[in-house]
Structure 1
C-alpha cells in the first residue's frame, strides 16, 4: 500500500500522511500498555504531535 500511494502523486501522499496520522496514536497507546515509563510515552506523543504539526495537511496539523 505504501509504495502504491507514493506512486499516485500528491493525492496518494496526502492519503498516506492521513493514514500515518491515524495509526500513530495506536502506537502511543501500545507503548503505554506495555508498561513503558511516562518519559517513553511522552516522547512518543511528542514525536507524533511534532510530525502532525510539520505536515502540509490542515486536518492533520
Structure 2
C-alpha cells in the first residue's frame, strides 16, 4: 500500500455491535481499500474507482 497516514472510515451500514464492520479508505493512487475492522492487519480488498462503483451498485440491488 502507500506510505503515510491512511484514514479508515467505517461504512455507514456497519453495525455498532461489533458485527458486519467494514471500513474503507480512498488511496491517492485512485484505488479504494476495504477491510474488516475486526481484523485491521488482515487482508484488504483494493478496487479501482469503477470497480468500487460497480460493487456498490450490485450491493444496493
TM-score (norm 2): 0.29
Whichever of the two has the greater Rg, that structure is 1
TM-score (norm 1): 0.29
Compare the two structures and name the one with the higher helix fraction: 1
Determine which structure has greater relative contact order: mean sequence separation of CA pairs < 8 Å that are 6+ residues apart, divided by chain length: 1
Compare the two structures and name the one with the higher strand fraction: 2
